[in-house]
Amino acid sequence: MSTVLSSSARAVPARPAVSASAWGLLLLRLSLGAMWLAHALLKPLVFTFAGTAQFFESVGIPGALVGPVFALEIATSLALLLGVYARQAALLSVPILLTVVWVHAPNGWVHVAQGGGWEYPAFLTAMSIVQWLAGDGALALRRSARFAPRAAPEPQE
């Protein structure tokens, strides 16, 4: 462990530096977690579960899936915000996001179009895959290599 000399000339252990990449992945993780929390809470607080079920059915998704989807969105948001198996949570969110892309595809590219386009859900899908590929980031409470891509071996010279 390295030490740093303080002004009083006594040795103080240095904290290991956290990389800029780790801080960037934390920012990504917190942004995705906040988005999932806000998105999930729209169901009971704005659209109601009954209204969400009606929308699901209008696009060919069984209305009975509202409860499980809501639970998965809340669990995903908390996992991302707390850094508890965040990579796995990000990966688990991809099928939901791809369904959202499919639902919004007929509305065109731009998400501000009538009915919402597929631009924003496609972006969130890509960012979730980035989180899964790159890692949990700084300040994660619980990490796991399960279902995470393995690092490639360093090339030999």
Q: Is residue 117 part of a domain?
A: yes
| Domain assignment of residue 140, yes or no | no
DSSP string, 50-61: HHHHHHHHHTTS
149 within domain boundaries: no
On whether residue 28 sits in a domain, the answer given is: yes
- Parent domain of 70: 20-134
Position 48 in a domain? yes
How many domains would you assign to the chain?
1
CA atoms within 13 A on the CB side of 124: 25
Residue appearing with tokens 């991302």:
80
Q: Where does the pLDDT of residue 6 fall: very low under 50, low under 70, confident under 90, or very high at 90 and above?
A: very low
Whether residue 141 is contained in a domain is answered as no
Per-residue pLDDT of 18-42, as tens digits, reads 899 999 999 999 999 999 999 999 9
Residue 5 lies in a domain: no
Whole-model pTM: value is: 0.84
